[in-house]
């Protein structure tokens, strides 16, 4: 249902003119002044007001403590303890209360939620009322008064209001309603029973803007019992109470009791799309998009076999239709996801999938079982989504990345499916804790740093925004490495992340491609055209085997795919060599092939390491392009050829690593598909887009020509031809300009000659993008200035972003609970809504809640550090953090020198002076590349300083330093929410964007940083006074470097003292750190550490002074966190779709429930419906 016509919403507007501020969004007609079908138009108009209320005054403060005299019913509706110790969970599972007042736990008391997880119930951390309840931020008396005033003005209809242009559309996902079974707050929420909401109730609720059907996100559908009743005193004869009565909503206390007794109803029972939904069955699986050619035994090569006459053809089609209906009927609906069904699934997987005893308390087994149970529900959506994409024949995007730093999958999956609360309760009743179970997951070692994490953020967003997209990469056996600290030094160990398997992936032994290496190129004459053709033959053949991982979207049924390739030998075992006694030779080829996908970024200090890196890159792009072409050719219809490939396929290269795919696609089109050069080149350039992530020379890969000629002989021929034709264009543009030719040539004229892969990507792509405004400017002016002149408009900017699903909702449940309790869950898919909270930045109660969330996050980190490192961290201190890949340009050394200076000041102070100092906890984390000795020395120095500081009694209560080893996504989710200050202090012009800066600010931390990367845009978004900036600018850096050997050095006594302390052995053997100290001498200070040191200390002092004024500091962090919508990956992906891929989303929704038939099987099991002719053919003419 949805579309057209205005209606009076059955709920009040928010106070203060800020529609939707507390979850009640006015919903007008599709053509009202709010912007019609555009769910973002309201926010675009509203934000221009600078966060003020509609009438220009400050919104009335509805944020005050909950009254102490609330009745038991009111307390029950708010998640406050009920008599006898039970309570109703406002954001998640119900903790049941028996007749005697005891909960269903053996101890008879309400269960504490570990990890302060607001996605289940932040407000219900303890049954005795400990902790803080974000739902109690709202004073119902103030809100009710505002509602009365609003209603008395006669303005309850959007179009009758003087500021109707500011009416908010429904707080749902930007692309449509929440699907069945999904709750956007990450848990089951308040799920009403079928008897409590009828179809007529939905009809009376009125249509939504545009074509939105009534949905349960951000309004009151998903949290009906709380979001409606929560904001008005119960029993008050207000319009709100009348609306509750009119909609047939029961008293909240009754709802709590009903749910406590019967368990939460399945959210699919609230499906507003269902015409005649069976109240005891989940939604049906799709059937209309099934590819019947896959069912046809007489299908050969994609062409169907037809009988001799129409009668046999009709009989054949009827047989296929009957078989299709039969197979569909056997699994016609989605898996039921109530608590008993989940428990049955868990036990079945323990016993049948794992063949283990269900009675043995084993967290490892139940993690595996839980993962398989969740994966079952992912695969349903995954297969249906892919069939839907194929049926719609829309354009698809393929994201090629050498890294995918996905993090743990279970938490993300259950949140995106809306099943976190259901799984938590199912496991709790079996004696397990969901957080404990999730901690059993070994994080996949598929990436190193920001590049891989960005790729994973993009995959999450692509699915959430319903774009048809796949990610392609490598399934590394050992990943990069596991970092351990041995005697304060980094030592690399293999990361055995696959020891116990990976339950989230599906091994595709039927999806294999041959990848050739080495060999020779032979020519032959094309018999049809007489043209000379090339054939690559001989050499070594490796088999690429696919492993698929479903990537679920949040608030949608769409589930995309990440396909990773594993290398296998074409011949598993040489029996002849084995029988001859050559046992190692018998498996040599196998080991050589499998080594291709063993380790991420093998050291390239040796020639063999360089060869292995190039093998990796070519292996994965060759398998990927073969797979992409196979899928495209499978869907070729009359009138469509390979010339139309760019209309249906977009390929995005994530950095320079996959750029060898350009000559590989040319090879496939020229040698396999027999296309002429010009046609193949046109297809290639219109298909590829290239994202440049750095201007650092070492990251802009170059390969030796002799090495490429040996390993990839055919590709070297193609690269030569590409370069020859391109340089002819350069000559035509700038006749006789040899400098231009030399600068733009793909082949670098050096000894030996080198292939410049970034140049190849630039020439072979139709769009090249930078990842921050300053980075894109530098790409145009420094990296590719000649290309920018030759191809004006080809280089564009798309600033990076991160997914709020992972980095707020999952990483920071305390803060997410605050947002959800006030705004409803719709903010997760639209961070612009957080801007409505900025007027409350100075509200005392809101600040108290905000600071409590920060305190809990600090305590959570401190507990982990104590358990894993043996250090007791202060929690009443400012948390100062720098966590990222260790590199000289990221200037962790600058941070360490600053800590040494602080240590010197503390050591030289009196006890009275130290008592007045601001306590500080410094956290550093990150990995150094195995062959990067300078970076490893920085880690060693940081560990030495940490040891000295933490063991000096003078620093007790004033300064602590920890270097956290083996930094990964899971640790980032723990560290980032605890930060007060984060350091992003790279030498200006060297950091392309950075995404850690975005994550820290989203989580309520402020930045000390340089004018580099995305820092500049973040400062503009959050206010320059909320970013403590220092150092030389990108334009100044080049001049400073040119004069560093001749200009007067910076003579800062604080820096000199820090250097003297290091050189004198205060932190261990000074010879270990002599190279680091030499590198910051005036003539060697390439990264401007000494130059920027005074400004760096000044910026830290300004931040410390601001932190001492806590109300002002808290207001800064609130405003900053609520101003970060531009740095959501949702915005980034939409820009890519518009600027680069030219593609539209394809939201998948399951078919409606059908009338009649079957009922439920086994008390809410799978449905066995009557088809009523649904599966039969309506005659041959209607079948095709």
Task: Give yes or no for a contact between 829 and 173, defined as CB atoms under 8 angstroms apart.
Answer: yes
Task: Give yes or no for a contact between 317 and 311, defined as CB atoms under 8 angstroms apart.
Answer: no
What are the phi and psi torsion angles at 1149 (to 5°)? -130, 135
Instruction: Report CA-CA distances (Å) from 268 to 167, 273, 276, 1152.
Output: 29, 10, 13, 11
> Exposed, middle or buried: residue 294 (CB in 10 Å: 0-12, 13-18, 19+)?
exposed
| Half-sphere exposure of residue 1167: CA atoms within 13 angstroms, side-chain side | 24
Instruction: Report CA-CA distances (Å) from 624 to 330, 399, 563, 643, 1111.
Output: 34, 10, 9, 19, 54
User: Among positive and negative, which fits the CA dihedral 1036, 1042, 1048, 1054?
Assistant: positive
For residue 101, how many other CB atoms are within 10 A of its CB?
A: 12
Find how far residue 453's CA is from the centre of its chain.
8
CA distance 1164 to 1154: 16
CA distance 155 to 150: 6
Task: Give yes or no for a contact between 547 and 562, defined as CB atoms under 8 angstroms apart.
Answer: no
- CA dihedral of 1006, 1007, 1011, 1017, whole degrees rounded to 10: -40
What stretches of 929-993 adopt beta strand conformation (E)?
Answer: 959-964, 981-984
> Exposed, middle or buried: residue 142 (CB in 10 Å: 0-12, 13-18, 19+)?
middle
Find how far residue 929's CA is from the centre of its chain.
25
Residues marked active site are found at 693, 884-885, 890, 995, 999
Q: Which residues pair with 63 in a beta bridge?
A: 138
CA distance 800 to 992: 10
CA distance 281 to 266: 9
DSSP label of 48: G
Instruction: Report CA-CA distances (Å) from 521 to 174, 535, 680, 831.
Output: 52, 6, 19, 54
What are the phi and psi torsion angles at 295 (to 5°)? -95, -10
Find how far residue 648's CA is from the centre of its chain.
25
Nearest residue to 903 via CA among 948, 957, 963: 948
Find how far residue 1031's CA is from the centre of its chain.
32
First to last CA, the chain: 29
Residues of the chain by 3-state class (helix, strand, coil), percent to 5: 50, 10, 40
CA distance 818 to 813: 9
Look at residue 1165 and give its three-state secondary structure: coil
Task: Name 1112's Cβ contacts closer than 8 Å, sequence gap at least 6.
Answer: 1106
For residue 167, how many other CB atoms are within 10 A of its CB?
A: 28
Token pair in block for residue 523:
């020519």
Task: Give yes or no for a contact between 306 and 1132, defined as CB atoms under 8 angstroms apart.
Answer: no
Nearest residue to 63 via CA among 850, 1004, 844: 844
Q: Are strands 754-756 and 767-770 parallel, antiparallel or unpaired?
A: unpaired
Nearest residue to 63 via CA among 839, 712, 591, 744: 839
Task: Give yes or no for a contact between 218 and 171, defined as CB atoms under 8 angstroms apart.
Answer: yes
Angle at 547 between CA 541 and CA 549, to 5 degrees: 155
For residue 1096, how many other CB atoms are within 10 A of its CB?
A: 26
């Amino acid at each position: 249902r949805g579309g057209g016509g205005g209606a009076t919403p059955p709920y009040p507007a928010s106070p203060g003119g800020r529609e939707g501020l507390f979850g009640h969004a006015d919903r007008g007609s599709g053509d009202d002044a709010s912007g019609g079908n555009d769910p973002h138009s309201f926010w675009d108009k509203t934000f221009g007001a600078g966060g003020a209320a509609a009438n220009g005054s400050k919104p009335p403060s509805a944020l005050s403590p909950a009254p102490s005299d609330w009745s038991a019913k009111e307390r029950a509706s708010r998640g406050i303890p009920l008599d006898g110790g039970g309570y109703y969970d406002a954001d998640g599972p119900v903790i049941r209360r028996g007749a005697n007042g005891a909960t269903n736990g053996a101890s008879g008391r309400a269960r504490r939620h570990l990890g302060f997880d607001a996605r289940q119930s932040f407000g219900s951390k303890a049954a005795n009322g400990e902790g803080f309840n974000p739902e109690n931020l709202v004073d119902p008396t103030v809100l009710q008064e505002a509602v009365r005033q609003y209603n008395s003005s006669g303005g309850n209809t959007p179009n009758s209001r003087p500021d109707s242009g500011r009416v908010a559309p429904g707080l749902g996902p930007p692309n449509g309603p929440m699907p069945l079974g999904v709750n956007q707050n990450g848990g089951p929420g308040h799920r009403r029973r079928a008897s409590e909401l009828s179809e007529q109730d939905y009809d009376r609720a009125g249509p939504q803007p545009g074509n939105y059907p009534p949905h349960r996100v951000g309004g009151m559908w998903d949290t009906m019992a709380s979001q409606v009743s929560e904001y008005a005193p119960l029993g008050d004869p207000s319009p709100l109470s009348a609306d509750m009565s009119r909609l047939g909503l029961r008293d909240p206390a009754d709802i709590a009791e009903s749910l406590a007794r019967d368990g939460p109803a399945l959210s699919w029972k609230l499906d507003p799309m269902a015409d005649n939904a069976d109240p005891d069955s989940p939604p049906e699986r799709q059937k209309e998009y099934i590819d019947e050619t896959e069912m046809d035994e007489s299908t050969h090569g994609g062409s169907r076999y037809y009988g001799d006459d129409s009668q046999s053809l009709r009989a054949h089609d009827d047989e296929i239709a009957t078989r299709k209906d039969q197979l569909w009927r056997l699994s016609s609906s989605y898996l039921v996801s109530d608590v008993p069904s989940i428990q049955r699934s868990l036990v079945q997987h323990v016993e049948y999938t794992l063949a283990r005893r269900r009675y043995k308390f084993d967290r490892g087994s139940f993690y595996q079982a839980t993962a398989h149970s969740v994966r079952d529900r992912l695969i349903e959506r995954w297969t249906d989504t892919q069939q839907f994409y194929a049926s719609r024949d829309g354009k698809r995007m393929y994201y090629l990345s050498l890294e995918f730093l996905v993090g743990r999958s279970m938490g993300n999956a259950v949140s995106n499916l809306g099943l976190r609360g259901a799984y938590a309760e199912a496991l709790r009743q079996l004696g397990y804790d969901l957080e404990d179970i999730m901690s059993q997951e070994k994080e996949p070692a598929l990436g190193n740093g920001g590049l891989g994490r960005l790729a994973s953020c993009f995959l999450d967003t692509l699915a959430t925004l319903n774009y048809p997209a796949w990610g392609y990469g490598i399934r590394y056996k050992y990943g990069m490495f596991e970092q351990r600290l041995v005697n304060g030094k980094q030592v690399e160990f293999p990361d055995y992340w696959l020891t116990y398997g990976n339950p989230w992936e599906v091994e595709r032994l039927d999806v294999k491609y041959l990848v050739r290496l080495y060999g020779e190129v032979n020519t032959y004459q094309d018999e049809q055209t007489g043209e000379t053709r090339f054939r690559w033959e001989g050499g070594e053949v490796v088999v690429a085997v696919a492993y698929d991982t479903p990537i679920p979207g949040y608030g949608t049924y769409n589930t995309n795919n990440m396909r990773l390739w594993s290398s296998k030998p074409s011949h598993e075992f040489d029996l002849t060599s084995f029988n001859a006694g050559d046992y190692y030779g018998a498996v040599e080829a196998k080991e050589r092939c499998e080594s291709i996908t063993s380790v991420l970024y093998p050291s390239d200090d040796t020639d063999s390491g360089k060869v292995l890196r190039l093998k990796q890159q070519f292996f994965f792009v060759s398998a990927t392009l073969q797979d992409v072409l196979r899928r495209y050719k499978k869907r070729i219809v009359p009138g469509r050829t390979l010339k139309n490939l760019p209309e249906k396929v977009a390929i995005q290269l994530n950095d320079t690593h996959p750029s060898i795919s350009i000559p590989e696609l040319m090879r496939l089109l020229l040698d396999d598909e027999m296309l002429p050069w010009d046609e193949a080149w046109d297809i290639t350039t219109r298909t590829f887009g290239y994202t440049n992530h750095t201007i650092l020379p070492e990251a802009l890969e170059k390969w030796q020509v002799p090495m490429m000629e040996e390993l990839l002989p055919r590709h070297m021929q193609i690269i030569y031809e590409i370069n020859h034709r391109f340089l002819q264009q350069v000559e035509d543009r700038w006749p006789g300009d040899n400098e231009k030719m030399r600068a733009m040539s793909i082949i670098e004229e050096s000894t030996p000659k080198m292939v410049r892969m970034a140049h190849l990507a630039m020439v072979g792509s139709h769009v090249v993008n930078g990842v921050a405004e300053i980075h894109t400017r530098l790409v145009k002016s420094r990296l590719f200035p000649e290309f920018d002149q030759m191809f004006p408009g080809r280089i564009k900017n798309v600033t990076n972003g991160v997914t709020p699903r992972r980095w707020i909702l999952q990483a920071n449940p305390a803060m997410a609970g605050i947002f959800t309790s006030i705004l409803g869950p719709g903010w997760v898919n639209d961070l612009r809504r957080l801007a409505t909270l900025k007027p409350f930045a100075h509200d005392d109660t809101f600040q108290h809640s905000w600071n409590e969330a920060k305190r809990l996050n600090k305590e959570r980190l401190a507990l982990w550090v104590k358990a894993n490192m043996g250090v007791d961290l202060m929690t009443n201190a400012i948390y100062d953090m720098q966590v990222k890949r260790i590199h000289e340009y990221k200037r962790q050394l600058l941070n360490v020198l600053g800590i040494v200076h602080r240590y010197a000041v503390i050591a030289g102070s009196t006890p009275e002076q130290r008592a007045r100092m601001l306590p500080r906890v410094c956290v550093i984390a990150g990995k150094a590349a195995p062959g990067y000795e300078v970076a490893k020395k920085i880690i060693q120095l940081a560990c030495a300083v940490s040891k000295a500081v933490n063991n000096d009694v003078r620093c007790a209560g004033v300064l602590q330093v920890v270097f956290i080893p083996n930094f990964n996504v899971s640790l980032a989710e723990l560290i980032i929410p605890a930060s007060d200050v984060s350091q992003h202090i790279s030498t200006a012009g060297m950091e392309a964007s950075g995404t850690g800066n975005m994550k820290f600010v989203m989580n309520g931390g402020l930045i000390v940083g340089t004018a580099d990367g995305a820092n500049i845009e973040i400062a503009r978004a959050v206010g320059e006074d909320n970013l403590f900036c220092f150092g030389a600018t990108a334009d100044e850096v080049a001049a400073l470097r040119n004069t560093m050997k001749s200009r007067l050095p910076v003579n800062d006594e604080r820096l000199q003292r820090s250097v003297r302390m290091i050189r004198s052995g205060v932190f261990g053997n000074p010879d270990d750190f002599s190279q680091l100290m030499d590198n910051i001498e005036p003539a060697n200070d390439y990264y401007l550490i000494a130059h920027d040191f005074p400004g760096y200390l000044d910026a830290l002092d300004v931040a410390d002074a601001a932190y001492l004024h806590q109300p002002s500091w808290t207001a800064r962090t609130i405003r900053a966190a609520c101003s970060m919508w531009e740095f959501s990956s949702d915005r980034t992906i939409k820009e890519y779709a518009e600027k680069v891929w030219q593609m539209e989303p394809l939201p998948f929704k399951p078919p409606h429930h059908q009338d009649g038939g079957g009922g439920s099987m086994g008390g809410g099991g799978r449905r066995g419906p009557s088809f009523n002719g649904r599966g039969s053919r309506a005659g041959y003419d209607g079948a095709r």
